[in-house]
């Protein structure tokens, strides 16, 4: 098995993708709006990925945070709120905000599980600062670490109850970035003491099953390399200071914050200590390059994968979707 998560080009696998994925045996797959037509189509697509891999628990990811980061959209699927909605309720009633987030993400998880998606790239545990790039903005729960940690924990638990693994992101914190890492490399000049604020929610959720790095340079830790490619940040900060021992994947290596070929970036990320590379855009030439350069997944990577997938082995807890939405909406109305 190759330690990489690949994207898929369309609503169904092409013959070329079938042949390539069968030979490459990637650890998992990630879906985007281009892959989400309707319920029957998505279930057929995810079934085909499971059959091709021969693994019923093969990770099939999506970015379904709610708000503007949503791949499954109306009218086929209901809309879900962005993270800052729960943050605003937390100002008034913290316990109600936590309950609203848990209900929201359990319902969201049930929606994903229905079509065969078993991993959601949420929650954001980024502690946002006033001038943070709009690429983060309303996606985050807020600027106070305890609030972010509590709402993040509720999100992970809600997704688990819905039958889906959550991915905490963007480790060790994207809340000070002033530019969008999709377009350029952010550099954070905060000192080590200030960065303790950023890592607090991740440390509080160090037992999360999966995590995602950020393509941000933290000058206090490693002025030469973004976190994804930094052995010091991965090993001393994420694995050490934060204490995270879940499956660690990169953010999309195609983002412009990183330089080099896809294969070079992928091998650098693994060398830095990441378990898995995320390559989202289903470009066959890039996937072939990456697959040809990567070694097989390490025993540590496979053990972390097994632990993560085991957290949802029982599937969804028996709960009515409409009741969860009604509970969430009643709580959010308090704000």
Sign of the dihedral defined by the CA atoms of residues 26, 296, 230, 145, in that order: positive
Q: What is the DSSP string of 47-105?
A: HHHHHHHT-TT--EEE---BTTB-SS-TTTS-----HHHHHHHHHH-HHHHHHHHHHHH
* Catalytic choice (38, 57, 180, 182): 182
The CA-atom distances, in angstroms, between 82 and each of 13, 64, 65, 68, 137 are 31, 10, 7, 7, 10
- Give Cβ neighbours of residue 55 (< 8 Å, ≥ 6 apart): none
Cis omega (within 30 of 0) for bond into 60: no
Q: Is 182 a catalytic residue?
A: yes
Q: What is the DSSP string of 156-170?
A: HHHHHHTT-EEEEEE
| Structure token digits, residue 241 | 């200071």
Give the Cα separation of 234 and 240 in Å (integer): 8
SS3 of 8-30: the string is CCCCCCCHHHHHHHHHHCEEEEE
Q: Which of 275, 180, 265 is nearest to 225 (CA)?
A: 265
Q: Is 92 exposed, middle or buried (0-12, 13-18, 19+ CB in 10 A)?
A: exposed
| Partners of 29 in beta bridges | 6, 60
Q: Are 164 and 109 in contact (CB under 8 A)?
A: yes
* Catalytic choice (251, 252, 275, 279): 251
The CA-atom distances, in angstroms, between 258 and each of 28, 55, 285 are 22, 32, 18
Q: Is 251 a catalytic residue?
A: yes
Count of Cβ atoms closer than 10 Å to residue 57 Cβ: 17
Point out the residues that are catalytic. 182, 251
């Amino acid at each position: 098995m190759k330690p990489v998560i690949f994207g898929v080009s369309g609503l169904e696998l092409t013959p070329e993708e079938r042949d390539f994925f069968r030979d490459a045996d990637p650890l998992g797959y990630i879906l985007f709006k281009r892959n989400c037509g309707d319920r029957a189509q998505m279930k057929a697509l995810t079934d085909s990925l499971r059959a091709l891999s021969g693994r019923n628990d093969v990770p099939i990811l999506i970015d379904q945070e709610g708000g503007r980061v949503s791949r499954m959209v109306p009218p086929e699927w209901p809309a879900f709120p962005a993270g800052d909605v729960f943050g605003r309720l937390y100002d008034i009633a913290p316990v109600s905000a936590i309950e609203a987030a848990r209900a929201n993400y359990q319902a969201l998880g049930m929606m994903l599980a229905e079509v065969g998606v078993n991993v959601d790239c949420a929650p954001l545990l980024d502690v946002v600062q006033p001038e943070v790039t709009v690429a983060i903005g309303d996606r985050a729960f807020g600027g106070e670490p305890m609030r972010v940690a509590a709402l993040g924990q509720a999100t992970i638990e809600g997704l688990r109850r819905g039958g889906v693994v959550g991915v905490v992101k963007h480790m060790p914190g994207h809340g000070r970035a002033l530019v969008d890492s999709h377009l350029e490399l952010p550099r954070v000049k905060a000192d080590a003491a200030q960065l303790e604020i950023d890592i607090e929610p991740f440390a509080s959720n160090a037992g999360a099953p999966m995590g995602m790095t950020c393509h941000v340079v933290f000058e206090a830790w490693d002025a030469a390399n973004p976190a994804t490619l930094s052995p010091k940040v991965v090993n001393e900060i994420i694995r050490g200071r934060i204490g995270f021992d879940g499956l660690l994947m990169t953010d999309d290596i195609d983002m412009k914050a990183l330089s080099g070929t896809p294969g070079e970036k992928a091998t650098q990320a693994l060398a830095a200590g990441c378990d898995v590379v995320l390559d989202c855009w289903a470009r066959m030439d890039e996937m072939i390059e990456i697959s040809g350069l990567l070694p097989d997944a390490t025993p540590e990577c496979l053990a972390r994968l097994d632990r993560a997938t085991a957290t949802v082995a029982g599937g969804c807890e028996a709960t009515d979707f409409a009741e969860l939405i009604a509970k969430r909406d009643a709580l959010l109305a308090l704000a």
